[in-house]
Amino acid sequence: MKLRHTLLGTVSAFCVLSLTQQVMGAENVRPQRFTLVIHMSPAMCALDPSKRQLRQCQEGFSLTIASLKPEVPASDADKCASRTPAALNPLQARVVERVMPDERLRQEDWQRNGGCTGMSPSTYFRTIANYAGRLRVPPEFNASKEITMQRSSLIRQLQMLNSTLPADGIQLRCVQTARFNAPVLTEMRVCYNSQGQYVSCPATIRSNCPATFIVQGAP
């Protein structure tokens, strides 16, 4: 499965809801900002041999969602763990697995962050599917071989494809490997407010990618 231009493609109507309508979780924490963490699957799979048996690696996903991280005060960080299982109905599971294909990773993500989201598991993953369905990405992310990209060019493309996305609402993470001369893009983060609108990322989330880096192609 190779995801083209949008992370999710056509999103089922039940996913397209504003976050203000969705926040119905049992916890009292109500974050004002969230960060969508997107993994570049070919690079992540190549870097970590333990992940190679995951569905996202076996089936050639180009992008996958790792998490929707709530921005909470440091004093609330210990409230983020959740023991509630991330149980989804079959329809929702089929939608969500298009961007988070591995159930174990979905469970682990919810258990790390669920207590700070202010959402139920169903609402949390519905929000992820909604955000992924709206976010458009350049075709280079779906290449079958590695591509050298300029950071400034990628940011411009993302802004053109997502008209309200500010340049500082995108943060890129890279890792240097022995395979390539330039660092490899492994992760992209996109920041949102509690209404699901793009916003500038907090100062605690920073890019480390140089001016030029590699986007590793999906096998």
- What are 115-166's pLDDT values in tens digits? 899 899 999 999 999 999 999 999 999 888 899 999 999 999 999 999 999 9
Give the CA dihedral 28, 30, 36, 37, nearest 10 degrees: -50
- What are 166-191's pLDDT values in tens digits? 999 999 999 999 889 999 999 999 99
**Cβ-based neighbours of 58, under 8 Å, separated by 6 or more:** 52
Domain positions in the chain: 13-22+29-215
State the pLDDT confidence band at 4, using cuts at 50, 70 and 90.
Answer: very low
Q: What percent of the chain has pLDDT over 70?
A: 87
pLDDT of residue 49: 84
pLDDT of residue 104: 92
Residue 208 has φ and ψ, to the nearest 5°, of: -125, 5
For residue 209, give both structure tokens: 């990618």
User: CATH classification of 13-22+29-215, choosing from 3.90.730.10, 3.90.650.10, 3.30.300.130, 3.40.470.10?
Assistant: 3.90.730.10
- What are 13-51's pLDDT values in tens digits? 334 333 433 443 334 557 889 999 999 999 999 998 888
